[in-house]
Amino acid sequence: MLEIKNLHANIEGKEILKGINLKINKGEVHAIMGPNGSGKSTLAQVLAGREEYEVTEGEVLYQGQNLLEMKPEDRARAGIFLAFQYPVEIPGVSNTNLLKTALNEIRKYRGEEELDAMEFLSLIKKRMQLVELDKTLLSRSVNEGFSGGEKKRNEIFQMAVLEPKLAILDETDSGLDIDALRIVANGVNKLKNSESSTIVVTHYQRLLNYIIPDFVHVLYKGKIIKSGGKELALELEDKGYDWVKDHIDEVVEQG
């Protein structure tokens, strides 16, 4: 599905990613954990095609294609979805309008027929239930005046409508109370299937109680310093990030 090889990325001349290597197969869930400022969100944004980041080295293959050469919209059309850490408010654009335009552009790209108004409505009705989203939010401007929890649920709702092959959840859990967390996790779990993969970027282990990862990677100072199974998350929770930090800093010193 996705193969990242020696990925380096800068923003405003500052190197954030310093050689990421990661391979994700179909149907897998990978958690990327790490302390603040380690480059987790940068990785998510680079994969989605944020222009502000400059990739200086390395390559990313997505379904055999060179992902870094694709425009952000083409990445989305090819099945990549980023649930934003901070969803953007867009006054004057209704949630429905955004989704309808997005869905039809994606369908067009894939050579599928556009959905008519009725089909679209019935689809979003079903998907809304998945994340228990209030239907009044549909006609409102995208994320405008939404609570933090509503914004995060709205991201997962969009994901449910667009049905990505590779979903990247960027700190979707932060700021959520436990009920909202369960709803969001439940939505993600229901959308998972053997054909799709998920990257869960998080600072806390909590979310991983609900979305069970196949692999856990620890990102620190722009590099993946440790990878393991789901038990690694628990170990991290238990011992704290200092445990891996000490480990890596030791390694660096010795080197």
Task: Give the footprint of other proteins on this chain (CB under 8 A).
Answer: 48-51, 71-73, 75-77, 81-82, 84, 87-88, 90-93, 97-99, 101-103, 105-106, 109, 141-142, 158, 162
Nearer to other proteins, 33 or 159 (CB): 159
The nearest distance, CB 87 to other proteins, in angstroms, is 7
Nearer to other proteins, 3 or 105 (CB): 105
Q: Are 55 and 131 in contact (CB under 8 A)?
A: no
Nearer to other proteins, 84 or 220 (CB): 84
Name the CA radius of gyration of the chain, rounded: 18
Nearer to other proteins, 13 or 92 (CB): 92
| 119-120-126 Cα angle (round to 5) | 95
Report CA torsion sign: 203, 244, 224, 229.
negative
The nearest distance, CB 48 to other proteins, in angstroms, is 5
Q: Are 176 and 131 in contact (CB under 8 A)?
A: no
The nearest distance, CB 229 to other proteins, in angstroms, is 30
- Residue 184 φ/ψ, nearest 5 degrees: -65, -45
Q: Are 127 and 120 in contact (CB under 8 A)?
A: no
The nearest distance, CB 76 to other proteins, in angstroms, is 4
